[in-house]
A and B are shown apart, each in its own frame.
Chain A
Amino acid sequence: DSGVTQTPKHLITATGQRVTLRCSPRSGDLSVYWYQQSLDQGLQFLIQYYNGEERAKGNILERFSAQQFPDLHSELNLSSLELGDSALYFCASSPLGGPEAFFGQGTRLTVV
């Protein structure tokens, strides 16, 4: 158990819909990262937040957005969903100055 909690574990939704994925980082970790893993693209970095502020951005689609709240939990919002958005979405957190990231167990999103 990494200490990073993601909910829900599974999500099935229809094209065009909007969903919210939630992540609770390890206690004390200020940084939260979101990654997407699809069969054809592998693990891709989406976005990083540090203490509520956006810190780094990867190949995140405009239809996707994220935020980190004062209690440090984070949410990834995916809208206008397409079949190609079906993937595993991982959240990770890291401690201040720590080199390693701790990943949650992921949310498996299926768009039908």
Chain B
Amino acid sequence: DAKTTQPPSMDCAEGRAANLPCNHSTISGNEYVYWYRQIHSQGPQYIIHGLKNNETNEMASLIITEDRKSSTLILPHATLRDTAVYYCIVVGMIKAAGNKLTFGGGTRVLVKP
């Protein structure tokens, strides 16, 4: 699975959009981009994933560049409860039995009032 690079930390104002970048320049054609977050030593929580197209769900939006070498996770209206470590993970073809996840260092996001 391709490696990812994320900034180690970022701050965000409550109520504003948080844009979290991720670089995955060695991603190959059949690899997906997943985002998880971990709130203060709780179990990681799945946020969203995508292959080529932009994706949106109730938690966030995922924007993947056309060359797929980078992506941005957007939290549209950050709240204090969004303070967490956010992990961008590249995973190969989705298997029926599921896929192991290789976590990097993630981005520590602090939402400030």
The minimal Cβ–Cβ distance linking A33 to chain B, given in whole angstroms, is 6
Give A43 to B102 CA distance when docked, in angstroms.
Answer: 8
The minimal Cβ–Cβ distance linking B105 to chain A, given in whole angstroms, is 6
Majority secondary structure of chain B interface residues (helix, strand, loop or mixed): loop
Q: Tally the A-B contacts, defined by beta carbons under 8 Å.
A: 68
- Contact (Cβ within 8 A) B41 A101: no
The minimal Cβ–Cβ distance linking A99 to chain B, given in whole angstroms, is 5
Majority secondary structure of chain A interface residues (helix, strand, loop or mixed): strand
Interface check B30, CB cutoff 8 A: no
Q: Which of B7-15, B66-74, B92-100 forms part of the interface with chain A?
A: B92-100
The minimal Cβ–Cβ distance linking B56 to chain A, given in whole angstroms, is 16
- Contact (Cβ within 8 A) A48 B98: yes
Number of residues in A with C-beta < 8 Å to the partner? 30
| Residue among B32, B43, B94, B101 with the highest chain A CB neighbour number at 10 A | B43
The minimal Cβ–Cβ distance linking A20 to chain B, given in whole angstroms, is 19
Known: A45-B101, A96-B96, A97-B94. Contact between A103 and B44, CB under 8 A?
yes
The minimal Cβ–Cβ distance linking A66 to chain B, given in whole angstroms, is 13
A18-74 interface (Cβ within 8 A of B):
30-31, 33, 35, 42-45, 48, 50, 55-56, 58
Known: A31-B98, A48-B98. Contact between A106 and B42, CB under 8 A?
yes
| Selected A-B contacts with CB under 8 Å, 18 pairs | A2-B43, A31-B98, A33-B98, A33-B100, A42-B105, A43-B38, A43-B103, A45-B100, A45-B101, A55-B97, A92-B44, A94-B98, A97-B94, A99-B91, A99-B94, A104-B43, A105-B42, A106-B42
Interface residues of A, Cβ cutoff 8 Å to B: 2, 4, 30-31, 33, 35, 42-45, 48, 50, 55-56, 58, 88, 90, 92, 94, 96-106
